[in-house]
Structure 1
Amino acid sequence: MLRDASPRMVDMGGGWGLAPAGWGVGLAALGAAFGQLLGTTPLAVLGATVGAVSGAFAPTIYDAVRDRNRKQDALPATAELVSTHHGPASLLAPDRRVVSFAGREAELAALEAWCADPVGAPMRLVTGPGGVGKTRLMLELAARLGHQWGFVVVTEDQEATALAHWREVTDKPLLLVVDYAETRERLNVLVRSVVGDGGGRVRLLLLARSEGEWWDRLGSGERPVREAHARATVEQMVLSADVAAGVSDADLIDAAVGDFARVLGVEPAPSVVVDADEGRGRMLDLHAAALVGVLTAAQEAGVGAVRVDLGVVLEDLLSHEVRFWLGSAEAAGLCAGPSGLTVTALGQVVAAGTLLGAADRASGVALLGRVPGVPQSVKVAEWLGGLYPAEPGQGWLGGLRPDRLAELHVTRQLAESPELAAGCLTDLDEGQARQALTVLGRASADYEPARELLGRILPLISGVAASLEAPRETLEAISAAIPFPSLAMAEADAIIVGKILATFPAGDRSGEYARWLSLSASLTAQLGRPGEALPVEQQAVTIRRELAELYPDRYRPDLADSLSNLGITFSELGRPNEALPVTQEAVTIYRELAELYSHLYRPDLAASLSDLGIRFWELGRPDEALPAAQEAVTIRRELAGLYPDRYRPDLADSLSNLGITFSELGRPREALPVTQEATTIYRELAELHPDRYRPDLAASLSNLGVYFSQLGRPDEALPVTQEAATIYRELAGLYPDRYRPDLAGSLSNLGIRFSELGRPDEALPATQEATTIYRELAGLYPDRYRPDLAGSLSNLGVRFSELGRPDEALPATQEAVTIRRELAGLYPDRYRADLAVSLSNLGAWLSELGRPDEALPATQEAATIYRELAGLYPDRYRADLAGSLSNLGVWLSELGRLDEALPATQEAVTIYRELAGLYPDRYRADLAVSLSNLGNRLWELGRPDEALSAEQEAVTIRRELAELHPDLADSLSNLGSTFSELGHPDETDEAAREVSEDLGL
């Protein structure tokens, strides 16, 4: 998604003594004088040239100078901060430069070298969580470049003009900076101007908390922009909390303590001792700890060492800010009398102002009406506006700073007061909606309550989106502010994107229109509505195919992207035969592109290969899926080694797909480790970004449970399956359209796990709930969910049988056979194996009901199918063939056809013996069962000596497995019968004693 935001042109000079009256003469005339004033300061980054920039920037620069003078004049000479116009948290603002810069020398050197390199990349991306020092790094870079370079922080609505204005007066090197790049509108316009610049050297530095869809979309422009984006991706700088190897957190805090004390005019705290968890603290937190220490020492005379808990330092700082609000409000007479404002009310007023802002004084007064119990008073509004004035050109009301402190406060206030949340997120105009989405979206990266809050208020936000009437540019900006992918915000984003599409003229065939079509389809599919997404994505493919024929360099990547999405949509609709060719075409395009531009398109090639693997195994062709899945893992492992923050999620995705492919090939031992690796990655990611990665974690846990089960380790399979079901239940409660199918799948798996552990009474309700969900879904989307319904019905039959209720098992299994027979007629490669499963079960239930003559043909058909499949995929289907042959032997025996029963049972024993040699954990129990069956067949044929040998081997195996499989009594009973037949009563009595002991009798 295109993510753009608001810019401002700023002179970072250190000397702010220029008189305001001088600006009335005109900027060009004052250029030289302004350059002299700033040229002697450490931060004279614009120098003389800034005075000659177009007069359009004069009000912005003048207001910035005036505002900075006012702020510095207002700094207190003592620690009585409530006597000033600014709270203590304002001292943490990076542009105040209260704390001397420290560390980041390696990063600064790299950025300086980038600026100095005549052929350097035009654009760099610096990412990192809030508070690690991105803005401080940018300001220090500007200072070090000195007056030889110009420096412009591009603000909103200046993307298309900032560089042009600069070039009108000079070809001096220029550093352009965009902060919060992930939230910006028209960022592509700025990049286009930078890469197409024919003047002097220009560098564009983008600062963002993370890359994501906004970054991917930025790279979808014309070829020069794509190439700049590709270089920036390769050279991306990710900031961690560790600012320098030789500088400790304690060193940074000690230095900051001195700086804060000097600015506040107080004695430094004797010492500030920080309690922290392992690992480095974020720069903002360390500076906040120093500030809290200084404030505490100033307020508590004679205090010794001040202890600060880094884990709650922002809360501590917020408490100082609250005291500042209260003192200033009391001084303004807002708290006096029975109707005076309480501390709670003051905090809610600040939260509402920070969340929504206000364009003018009247809007500030109206804002107060959103806060419960607070009157719409001009006096209160003036107090709030004086407390946090807006930046020049950014409206009337600003908000609490720094951002992480603001996000904490807003999240806490809205989470604690549903009335405040409802008031602040109802009837918003486009500016308020955008700001609210941005603040809460950022807050959700750090605070779990913010994520929960987004989920609760989604209907309110969606209502605002549905009623919003605004120009396309405004709609694009709001869409850009919504994280993607995001469960909480997908509905609102889909509504807004639909409005954007409506602004294009009828019959539009542009690439821009196709891009929004593709995004609309992705969002609709994300909401669990692939049937609605399909025609939209098909239209995007048609347009992009036409454009790719005319302009292949520009549009073939876009075509490949839409083809990949179309394949996914067909797959979600249960139409894998249509998904395969479009996915293959996408792979072909990306492979050709990757050969030409490896660094740019290898990630896309890996993604399409991963999709191709899925398409093949959906069609029952796992042998063709494997090489595609393995190639995808190889590429993504290399990429994740170079850029872990960017590609570890993709690696986890491909590892999961590879595990599925191994499982489909009957190789669970190889499926397990790659899936465990994927689960580990997803768990780490879900802790950082639950909105994005909890669904992936749940899917990986479900797969892990399947592979543990296939390896005969049901006790390890159960907890991961339960965790997956828990996550999906929570998600389905929030987003039923999207996650009820996944919940049903996890419940089916949970039923199987309980069954494997001999707990059928717990297995049945889980399976019944899964069947209910799938029946509802199959009624709505039969192509997609009838296969799942059949699988669930088949499982339900097994659960009833395990509970001794074969009369209830039979109709469920018959319905499963009917559905699967229809599916196998249409897609034999995909569904014949499933049909065989249901036929085997049908034979078993008919036999339990005393109808072996009806059981036999179903079992024979199942064995025939499994024999054909085992010939094609022995690793995958030989075990199923053996199970079917065992059943066949039993039914033939019940019908008195002993000569036919024996060879089927012997073949089953042979197969299980081979499998148990390879996978003893998985197949020794099955071997014991088949040996016991063989003993029965031999005994029925009057060959007790041979029967004894088979039963003894079965008992030996079962003794070893008794702790895990307490079915030893069955084998001992059979052995007792055989001994009796052979005339060995002593052995019979011994077997009976062991049976009694085993049963606790």
Structure 2
Amino acid sequence: MSAPQQNITSTAGFAYGAIGADIHVFGDGTPLYVLQRWQPAPEADAEWLRELPSRMLNARYALVEFTGREAELAQLRQWRTTGPRLAVRWLHGPGGAGKSRLAAQFAAEAQQDGWLAVVAVHGPGSVLPPPGSQDLRTEGHRGLVLIVDYADRWPLSHLTWLLSNALLHRPELPVRVLLLARSADGWPAVRAALANYQAGTSGQALEPLPATGERRAEMFGAARDGFADRYGLPDGSAIAPPASLDDPDMGLTLGLHMAALVAVDAYSRGKPPPGDMAGLTIYLLDREHLHWANLYNDGTSRTGPGAEHYATPPATMGRAVFAAALTGAVNRAAGSAVLDRVGLGERRDGILDDHRRCYPSLGGDDSTVLEPLYPDRLAEDFLALTTTGHTADYPAQHWAAGMAATVLAHVAPARPVTFLAEAARRWPHLGPASLFPVLRRDPRIAVDAGSAALTALASIPDVDMAVLEAVASRLPTPERPHIDLDVGAVAVLRKITPHLVATRDDPRENARALSMLAVRLAYVGEDHEALDVATEALRHWRAFAGDRAEALPDLAAALSGVAARLDSLGRPAEALPYVDEAVERYRTLLAVLPNLPAHLYAGTFGNLLIRQAVIMARLDRLDEALNRAQEALALFRRDPARYAAQEASATETIAYIHRMAGRSDQSAEESSHSEAQLRELARTDPARYLPALANLLVSRSEDLDRRRDHAGSLAAAEEAVALYRPLVRANPGLYRSQFADALRVAGKRAAAAGRLPEAVTACEEAVAEARKLTGPARDEQAGRSCYQLALAQNQMSDHLSALRWAEESAAHFRSLVERQPANLPDLALSLGYAAKIRHDRGLEPAKALAAAREAAEIFHWLSQRDEQMYGMYARTCAGLVTQIEGSLQTGVRRT
């Protein structure tokens, strides 16, 4: 067999290929992320390491034998070898806790056990690994481990794309995705997105090392011996810890490693080491300054090729290192622009070259400049100590705050805001001296920095609340989810909202703040907390509203918000009283102000009526639901130009209610009108209206089938599937349920056309997509998809598979009907079909009889309410019961 070949084309200056995995890129060809096979730690020259001792703290070199986190490693080992096929874990702990080293050991063990270990490097804002191709084929491997560092700094949409990669979705291949992060703040939203992949999810915190016991001493000893070996010291056992290992800072792996490194370096130089964490940090930074001075005084680089001339004064190099800590590694053009901005443009090329000699690219790419200090915590401490306002024995610089402000104003702010905020958590002077003044002048910088930066900002213990309030005021209005900002927005609003409510005697503004937080919480999947906050917001709105007519719209919106949260939790019966009250509040407003212009209330009130109609329909109150939807439609038609989209939504809601009531002609008429409206809207604004058109086409397919237009029905379903495919790839959380429904209907229509293999394929995909959902939507879509797959399999004479799918369908509907009684007919159909298959094939007749009797009882009860719709089903199931009972009595067995 010939070796695989791949042709790679450079796009946007970067060439990258992957065998066995997807590649996701932006429109300009820049990769969203790069996947690479995990590699063990590279060998590093001991003399080069000793030049700058901080190099030894970089986890990528793994100079210290893994020790001290064996219990945590055992947890990861058990997670890898047990559980579902796909599992994702969020491993979180503060900077320096040892996440990267633990992940490296985990990957090494997995690789030794025959697993393929892969790392993902985020693309935007990062210097990517050297171009090339990666062979990521999984054949011959027992499983796959994917390591994602800095996961909390990835935009959620980018993580979602990564998690959709085909590499992770090989049938029967165990996959473990380990996401490394500093905090757990981003995990709920990621976990909610993962629900779409039916993945096992878990979080694991790296707790501080216990102060008692031998773990800290053991870890210090291992680090000391590893560093002593690089210093050529045959026996480091005589080197004592420079500080008490019981100190809280020694609860971090990095703290112990810093203590060991400083102790060894000071011992080798015949100097006493400092005795506290700040002193250890300053010692290492002093060694950086000494290295810059030695190079400048020598005039050569002992580490660069050919010992090129080195001409950057130490003070200038300090400014470049400060800039690099803020920007991170960048390409040369970007680095030149940064030095121009901060006043180092006169010798920028020489400075960049000299800086790269001190801090070469980790990837070995000569085009990369401004590689920052490592580890990150040391870079953060350098930023803080260089900025005026602390009392530590380290020379602060007058230019530092101004340089930080300049960098924040002219580069992508995600890294600098995050690093300054993380440093400000340990160095209280840094916020007031540097970060807060910049954000006070332009709070949008924090918003532009993204979720990770907002989360870090909100986590500063003594954050300036006025600054945080200004940042909150610049958040985009939450009219719809903002997948890459909502997590950070929630962190900010969680911090600022209680403060505002406690310090501000304004129930209206407090209610608005709580309502805003409730909506944001719902967007990140915190449904229960969102309900609690929405309920508190409603309490404030009630306190404010009283008899004020002008407050009624806001009070109605708050009532609707509580209803929406309850409905999203699958509790429509509890939601209905709230939405009923909201509608009545609006009616009171219109009675008080009969001359109120329609454009001031029609859209809001109409949407409220639609919500009421949908909840009523779910509770099987179809006549009332139809009245509300028709009332909303009448409001929207008063101003068709303004409310064209809402009119189409109302029309489709009416069609949906007619469909549930079995009135196919009326449903078809309404959906036809809605389709024409949406096609026109989608023609002018496809991004906004194509999703609505796709949703409508699914319903339209059902209506056309009822009118015996089978060709038109199949075409509508297939068009809906085609429209949904790119939508679900872009936002699976938003469109997964509709996509599953479209696939199910397409399968149903294909089966009716006699295209059974296509029908089975479509229904199998529908089931797979539906199983990735959560909550009531999962049961409803999976129940319907399984039922349709059972029909198709039975038509293809695969009766045992058909029985399995019919019984799974019944299980889904059984868990749903308590919350949504409107699905009782679906449960009865699934039970009846499972009973029929068992009876026809002579399989466990007692089970067949039990299922048939339950289906008959349900349909009998339903037929008493609507004989025309359910009478035939009741009689059919009753007849099936009689047949099975007769078979049991006579001992007849079908084959």
TM-score bin, normalised by smaller chain: 0.3 to 0.5
Q: Which has the larger radius of gyration?
A: 1
TM-score by length of 1: 0.42
